[in-house]
Amino acid sequence: MLNKPILTQPLKTVSLFTGCGGSDRGLIDAGCEILMANDILAYAKDVYEANLPETDFKTDSIDQIKTFPAADVLAGCYPCQGYCQGGARDTGRKVNILYREFDRALRKIRPKVFIVENVSGMARSDNRHFLDAQLIRFRLAGYRVTWDFINAAEYGLAQERRRIFIVGIRSDFGVKYQFPKPTHGPGLKPIKTQREVLKHLKEEWPQSEFCDQDFHWYYLSRDRYRGWDEPSKTILANARHMPLHPMSPSLKKIGTDQWVFEGDPKKARRLSYKEAAALQDLGGWKFPDTAGLMSKYKVIGNAVPPMIFRQIFEALPEEVFS
């Protein structure tokens, strides 16, 4: 197990494409001070400020932000929905080149380290050029860059969530990042289960807290069920694609991309937004009623679980903190 870094003072941090603040909560827990956060989604700002009110949160479009505070750490989760498995892929969308704005900020700030989280789909063989383009830019900016897949279930989250993390350390430090080893799984701690996380949320049919749309053909084109004693399926930003609550009947495969309920479909429901938040390590967070249910699901599904971002940060080599 890696020793946690000892910070004599908080590391100044700038957070871009922040979302509702999951990654920033993890950094704060690790001893960072968030000087500035940015996201264009107004409801993300509402949630962020309800839970992390000390941070200066800007909703400007990133290309309109010309100056950034001096910082030791730059964190970012720039969107790449064209490579996401939660919907149709469109790799030509403008949103997929927002990494260039992150690169611009990186070159202006020149932090000791940067950390990026993104969808695993951009490392597929047919998309690998997109990942390589990012790595090249970051290396040309003067950073030693490492990337890997992280499945959050192997690090203590009660959810199967596979994402790419990219970590860069400024080249003058002369050290390279090594990702932390899994803590949960065979021969390690038991994988955390939905039962452990959801046991305090006992209301079976919480009114106005879950998406009650029909289970259409696309929803039933894949297995969206996991039982009480398993981690959940991936929490997504689209409420209609939210995994089933473990009290629901399980699903049975009857053909290619075809699943049916093994029990009464009327006893099935999706996870509520509060349950999804708990499975994202955002249990106890405030979600103001300044937007509707779909917006709550969206910011929760897009969030980075705080415990995961914290562990990525805490694996940084000591040289970065000296």
Residues catalogued as catalytic: 80
Instruction: Report the 3 state secondary structure along 115-162.
Output: EEEEEHHHHCCCCHHHHHHHHHHHHHCCEEEEEEEEEHHHHCCCECCE
Three-state DSSP class for 14? strand
CB 229 within 8 A of CB 264: no
φ/ψ (deg, to 5) at 159: -160, 135
**Closest alpha carbon to 69 in 25, 105, 29, 32:** 105
**Closest alpha carbon to 282 in 302, 313, 305:** 305
Amino acid at 159: Q
